[in-house]
Amino acid sequence: MLLKKAQMMVALACCCCFSIDAVAQTNPSRVLLVCGIESEIPPLSHTEVRKLFLGLPIDKKGQRLKPLRNASDPLLTEVFLQKVIFMSKRKYEGQLVARVFRLGGVRPKVYKNLDELVDVLQQSPATVSYMWSDQLEQTTNLKSIGVLWEGSAQ
């Protein structure tokens, strides 16, 4: 009798786990690489995105790309750094400072206000940034040029 109860508990626990996983997978979060709608920037590889946001120059279609950091959402920042750049925030900041100190150049500008970021992306055809897919759906005159990450951001 005790064995049957234990088996039922295990079966019930498995059902709950699969149900939770199924709900999480029905609405995954996506981080997109975005630019202005008029921009002619082609899709970038993950390696190119990583280099660009680490301060290395990337040229596409005869123009030097300019990365803009989207700091409007702390979770987005964390996901971008962990899943795309593969660094903690502290290590990323250290890498940027060291690279600028050694090689010159400037660190990617940080935007805490999403509306300001969107305005700059719309006005400057060589700029790129990242945002949640639902943020892109709520804006006009921006387009996605690639999915950087997709999964559960909970």
Do 40 and 145 touch, CB atoms closer than 8 A?
A: no
Dist CA 133 CA 29 (whole Å): 7
Domains and CATH numbers, the chain: 29-151 (3.40.190.10)
What is the H or E stretch that residue 8 is in? helix 2-26
Q: Give the integer Cα–Cα distance in Å for 154 and 147.
A: 18
Contact in structure between 29 and 49 (CB atoms under 8 Å): no
Per-residue confidence (pLDDT) for residue 106, from 0 to 100: 84
Query: What would the pLDDT profile of 101-125 be if each residue is shown by its tens digit?
Result: 888 778 999 999 999 999 999 999 9
% of the chain exceeding 90 in pLDDT? 73
Predicted TM-score (pTM) of the model is 0.81
> Which of 141, 112, 117, 139 has its CA nearest to residue 127?
117
